[in-house]
Structure 1
Amino acid sequence: MEFVRELSDELRDLLSSNSSEDARLVQKGLLLYRQGMVQQLQVEKNGITAVVQDVMPAKVLLDPDFLGLSECSCPSDELCRHQMAVFFAAYAQVGSVSDWVTEWREPARETKSVVAWGIQKAKDLVKANGLLKPDYKRWVDSFEKSFEALLGEKKHKNPFVVTELFGIYRRQLQASAPVEQEWRLLYELVSVVVSFRMLAQLSERMGHAEDAVRRSYGHLFEAMVDEADELVEKIGMQTLPFDFDEFVVGLRDDTFELLTVVNGLEQARIALYRLLWNGLFRKTLWREAELEKVRDRTKSVQDDENPLPLVAAEIHLCVLLGEDEKAFAKVDLVRDEVIVPFMLYWIEYLSALKAWKRAGRWIDEFLQKLKEYLESNESYGGFHGRSGFVRTMLRAITPYVAENGRADVYERALLSSLPYSYAEYEYMLFERSMYDRWGELQAFLGMEFQDLPKDRVKVIEKERPEVLLGMLHQAVQREIDQKNRGSYRMAVRHLKKLRTLYKKLKRVDDWEYFLEGLLERTKRLRAFHEECTRGKLIAEKVE
């Protein structure tokens, strides 16, 4: 029964006791189990099945190997109370359900206790620090000490506690911020960079798995990147005091640490580094010096280090300095499935500058790598994930296409990303009345005729009916090949549509020749011929 225990561990990781929605789900499942509503339970390694007597009986199948493949006959598409009830009934054969629930609820109790402790600790820190006057080193020292006091000293094993404590920590920093607006913005930006670094280090120190970080406090890193982006924009809109130089230099040096601070969180680290060098560190001499610093550090990368942030930083600095050829040389050294998502940022950056010639070159390089990226296992997960990436890509190249009248580039992007670009490509072809190409697209992707948009079919039937002939011929043959009464009826429906189109095109002889040959080839399929008779196809031929 080890597989039941493994299922127990998976559910424990999947459900958070700090989530009110998850807590209700567990409570409802527990109630059904304790009321004896789980019947006909069968616990086997290849599947746990039962019937749950709820308002309407629900048939449940739990897949111990792939929980996502579990099924329930109730309307819910996700993990439901019936599946939880069946799990509890199965778990009762290997352990105490009450103990399981108590252990699962423990993190929520821990969170409440830790939050109360954190709030009191934060009050003490505010009293000790007071309002922090402009002093870069003092700021950073205060941020680091506050972070360690609130998150570092407690040896938390529960990743869900991190979000609560981090929120208390950030509110404590805001309470100590300078009053002057210009200094306050810079203070907040420095706090974001230091807090990002400290949280990343804490995550690695605590040994939290990547999946656990993503589900519990991964959003904090994304939020800090967004916050930094807004702060850099606000700072760039105001006249900076001369005294800012020292602070910007200090922040510039600390920003470099983002590239090597940990091995994970590559996307967020690169994004934060990139936007700071875009909007705040604009001096050419600084960028040239940083490029040399990055290259020197890359030479000393250890085997257990992740070099991607350093590589991305080098490419980005080359782009900022207008050295695209050097950037492309570096891009070619990275596997397509890794570097392609980052290339969209540089396309958008150059488009914003209206550097159209450079943007066009980057788009060309991107499209050469796109197909291999979409076919790789490391690209965005699943069909919907890849389709979403394609939509993002199309938005990124649209300014260049529109400004330069390069519809050919847009179509090339659509072709390179099929089938994930089907919706966009189909729309473009139809709107431009490119009906032949529209039909070729449907045939290429093996679209079923009956699934095509009815409004599209009506327009094409009126404007270019011959486009539909090939698709209908293929549809007829596919239905006949299935060799069952239902498919024969569908084949007859398609044949009637074919007859109408042939008559409209004044090609009745072609229709009769085709039908005669079809009936000859299928003369042993008596059921098909019966359906043809019912549909008056054969009768019409006899007349």
Structure 2
Amino acid sequence: MESTPASEQMEYFEEQVREMLVPTDTEDAKLVQKGLMLYRQGVVKQLQIFNDKITSTVQDVTPCYVKLDLVFASMSTCSCPGEGFCRHQIATFFAAFSKFGSVGDWVTAWREPAREKKDATNWGMQTAKDLVKANSILKPDYSRWVQSFEVSFDTLLASKKYTSPYVIPELYGIYERRIHASAPVEQEWRLLYEMVAIVVSFRKLAALSESLGHDEDTVRRAYLHLFHNLLDDAEELAIKIGVQSLPFAFDEFIERLKDDAFDLLRCANGLELERIQLYRHLWVVFFKKKAWREAELTKIEAALKGLQDWENPLVLMVAGVHLNLLIGNDETALKLIGQFTDEEIVPYLLYWIEYLSVLKAWRRVGVLIELFLQKVKAYLAALGGYHSCVTFARSAIKSVTNYCGENERFDLYERALLVMLPYSFGEYEYLLFERKQYDRWGELQAFVGLDFYDLPKDRLKVIEKERPEVLLGMLHQTAQREIDQKNRSSYKMAVRHLKKLRTLYKKLKRVDDWEYFLETLMDRTKRLRAFHEECRRSKLVDV
């Protein structure tokens, strides 16, 4: 297997660092500043880039040993007592990154969102005040509500005065405060007003994103959280509206909202997941009449036939699956699902699994879970990004757990964990350990490639007591990886692993195997004088 070039490894690692650190978060901003100071002070020593790892010693108040994992950034470690990504890891990242690009340029680009957010505040706030003065509190009138939302949105966000994606959250916050300030006083009307505002705002924001030409990565970094906040707000409002008796006057508003919800399917080409999520939720919570759902299906079929070549049919097709499942036409829904690629349909399957699980429609749920497990591996491969895959895998495991527990399908639960490795590692590791399947637990650690001393100490104590032979292979691998790095600090770590290995061999009464292994190792590494010196210094071998 060919190794990945160091520049590509660094690019992938740098993307993960950007995901973990938020420039508008005060603590993250301080962390980057401290790491930058350490790097510029030149205290990062013994920097090594080798085998998907970066190692260094950072001479802080006390020396800290850092190991960055270029594949899984979240598994990087530092010997300091801090939790998570620390200043020593940041400093090491900068020292390594400097060999491939400008650290100063990286920091400037990373800080850009916070700076632009501040620049937009004064202008936006003044505009919001003018809007509040110009608009009185609206009476319950659907058309006037929508017009007010659209005018306010266009004035604040579509004026072209600011087009940077990082300014949008600040301006949207001003727009949102304007909407809330103009809401009806009566509680029941206020809740409905806010739900209509969510649908209109979501549609306008998606259309604006497309008109500004913001790609998926830009939206994710700058303002994807706005869409997610709208989705959360819609769910909360649905609960509040659902527990109160609705006046007959609401009927017309719900009808109009149903028609506007259809626009979510065609207002943009991107943001498929978010648009369909809001659409599905509305049809589950508000639009429950079977006649409405059947009419909506007819509308979707007509829209699909009228699509232009450049228009994306995916959202309309998913909506068709959703409506068929709501009506109970599972056979039709499954045929429609067969028209999608695995990468396209998998993220939507989880919602339907959860929805039918709430209804305890277990037979229907089982069919969807089997379908999901056949397709999820291809989806994870296409998804990319370790954190994204882990987040999705955890969500998927949570979705299938209820079915597996209620129907005693523990075999299906384990199959789900196996299919989604390595992203389901945490859950699968816990399952094997709790079942005392220590051999398989050890195989899993070797598969993921964790170093022996990265493993949980409480786990190691139990296994060393009950099945110490399980640890031999991991210690051999860990020691060899350190020797392969061929530097003094890694040799010291290798000797530490070998001494632990010697202890285990003695405990297992396999001293002859240990002596044969050590003799072979010393002969194989006879050119590595520094390693042999460390072995003699630690009395691993006779002087």
Same fold (TM over 0.5): yes
Q: Could you tell me which residue of structure 1 aligns to residue 286 of structure 2? A: 280
Aligned partners of 1:454, 1:281: CA distance in 2, in Å? 53
Select 1:415's aligned residue among 401, 415, 418: 418
Q: 1:117 to 1:26 in 2, by over 3 A?
A: farther
The structure number with the bigger radius of gyration is 1
Aligned partners of 1:437, 1:16: CA distance in 2, in Å? 38
Q: Does residue 122 of structure 2 align to residue 123 of structure 1?
A: no
Shift of 1:313: 0.9
Aligned partners of 1:461, 1:76: CA distance in 2, in Å? 32
Q: 1:27 to 1:122 in 2, by over 3 A?
A: farther
Q: Could you tell me which residue of structure 1 aligns to residue 83 of structure 2? A: none
Contact 1:351 1:399 survives alignment (8 Å): yes
Of stretches 173-182 and 190-199 in structure 1, the one that deviates more from structure 2 is: 173-182
Select 1:435's aligned residue among 431, 435, 438: 438
Aligned partners of 1:29, 1:523: CA distance in 2, in Å? 40
Q: 1:521 to 1:395 in 2, by over 3 A?
A: same
Contact 2:442 2:474 survives alignment (8 Å): no
What TM-score results when the alignment is normalised by the length of structure 1? Answer: 0.72
CA deviation string 1:500-533 (max 9, x = no partner):
21x3xxxxxxx46646765786684596999699
Q: Which amino acid counterpart does residue 274 of structure 1 have in structure 2?
A: R
Q: 1:457 to 1:205 in 2, by over 3 A?
A: closer
1:488-507 aligned at under 5 Å gives the runs 490-491=497-498, 493-501=500-508, 503=509
Shift of 1:223: 1.3
Q: Does residue 313 of structure 2 align to residue 301 of structure 1?
A: no
Select 1:159's aligned residue among 147, 159, 165: 165
> Identity of paired residues, percent?
48
Shift of 1:253: 0.6
Q: Could you tell me which residue of structure 2 aligns to residue 328 of structure 1? A: 334
Shift of 1:354: 1.4
Shift of 1:346: 1.0
Q: Could you tell me which residue of structure 1 aligns to residue 383 of structure 2? A: 379
Q: Could you tell me which residue of structure 2 aligns to residue 3 of structure 1? A: none
What TM-score results when the alignment is normalised by the length of structure 2? Answer: 0.72
Q: Does residue 394 of structure 2 align to residue 391 of structure 1?
A: yes
Shift of 1:492: 5.3
Shift of 1:398: 1.5
Q: Which runs of 5+ in 2 are unaligned?
A: 1-13, 43-59, 62-72, 74-85
Q: Could you tell me which residue of structure 1 aligns to residue 458 of structure 2? A: 455
1:25-174 aligned at under 5 Å gives the runs 75=87, 77-78=89-90, 107=116, 111-126=120-135, 130-174=136-180
Q: Does residue 363 of structure 2 align to residue 357 of structure 1?
A: yes
Q: 1:301 to 1:79 in 2, by over 3 A?
A: farther
Shift of 1:147: 2.5
Q: Figure out how many residues of one structure are paired with residues of the other and give that number.
A: 470
Aligned partners of 1:520, 1:459: CA distance in 2, in Å? 30
3-state SS, counterpart of residue 343 of structure 2: helix
Q: Which amino acid counterpart does residue 225 of structure 1 have in structure 2?
A: L
Contact 2:495 2:538 survives alignment (8 Å): no
Q: Which runs of 5+ in 1 are unaligned?
A: 1-9, 39-54, 57-67, 69-73, 95-99, 504-510, 539-543
Contact 1:114 1:161 survives alignment (8 Å): no
Q: Which amino acid counterpart does residue 469 of structure 1 have in structure 2?
A: E
CA deviation string 1:187-216 (max 9, x = no partner):
111111112112222222233444443333
Q: Which amino acid counterpart does residue 346 of structure 2 have in structure 1?
A: V
CA deviation string 1:195-240 (max 9, x = no partner):
2112222222233444443333332222111111111222222222
- What RMSD in Å do the two structures reach over aligned CA positions? 4.8
CA deviation string 1:398-455 (max 9, x = no partner):
1112212221111111111122222211211221222343344344445555554443
3-state SS, counterpart of residue 87 of structure 2: coil
Shift of 1:251: 0.5
Q: 1:77 to 1:300 in 2, by over 3 A?
A: farther
Q: 1:189 to 1:106 in 2, by over 3 A?
A: closer
